[in-house]
Amino acid sequence: MIPPIFASSLLLLPTTVANFTAGRGPGWLTAITTELGQGRPLFLALYVGLIVFFAFFYTAIVFNPTETADNLKKHGGFIPGIRPGERTAEYIDYVLSRITVVGAAYLAIVCLVPQFLISYAAVPFYFGGTSLLIVVSVTMDTVSQVQGYLLAHQYEGLIKKSKLRGRRR
C-alpha cells in the first residue's frame, strides 16, 4: 500500500504547485504538468518506476535480513541447508529481493489497470489501484473474521453437545 501512495503523491506535486501559481508560473512548469496528467505515457512510466523504487525502499527500511538471521541464530532456529549467521542473512536477502520484485510488479499492474480503463478504454471506473487494494484487503479480512466466528460457534455447539451426551454411571 505504501509504494503506490508515495508514488502518486510525488507525481501530483508538480500539478499542485502549478495550481497554486494559477497559470502564472513558468512555461516549463506548465509543460511538465501537462505531460504528468492522469493517463499520459510519461505519468504511467514514472508511476511504475516510482512504485518499484518505493517497494524496494520500503522493504529495505522495514525488514533487516541481518537482524532476522541473528535472531534465528540466537533462538536456535536455522534454514535447512544454509549455515547460520552471515550465510543465512545473504539467503534471506536473496529471497526477499525476489519476493519484492514480484510484489512490486503486482502493485504496478493493479495500479495501472484502473488508469488504462479510465484513460484508454473510456470506462467510467471510479476506483484507483490503491482503493482496489484497500477494498480487497478489507473484504478478505472480513471474510476471515466471519469464518473464524462461525468456526468458534461450531466448536461451542460441539462442546455443549458433548456435555449433554456424556456417559453417566
pLDDT top residue among 120 and 41: 41
Same domain assignment for residues 89 and 120: yes
Number of domains in the chain: 2
The angle at the Cα of 149, spanning 146 to 153, to the nearest 5 degrees, equals 140
pLDDT tens track for 16-70: 877 777 767 677 777 788 788 787 888 899 999 999 999 999 999 999 999 999 9
What is the value of pTM for the model shown? 0.74
Same domain assignment for residues 141 and 80: no
At 82, the amino acid letter reads: I
Instruction: Give start and end residues of each alpha helix (H) in 22-80.
Output: 27-35, 41-62, 65-74
Same domain assignment for residues 120 and 144: no
Same domain assignment for residues 106 and 137: no
Domain span at residue 114? 2-125
At 105, the amino acid letter reads: A
Candidates 135, 133, 125, 113; CA nearest to 44 is 113
Same domain assignment for residues 116 and 72: yes
Asked whether 52 and 37 are in contact (CB, 8 A), the reply is no
Confidence bin at 121 (pLDDT 50/70/90): confident
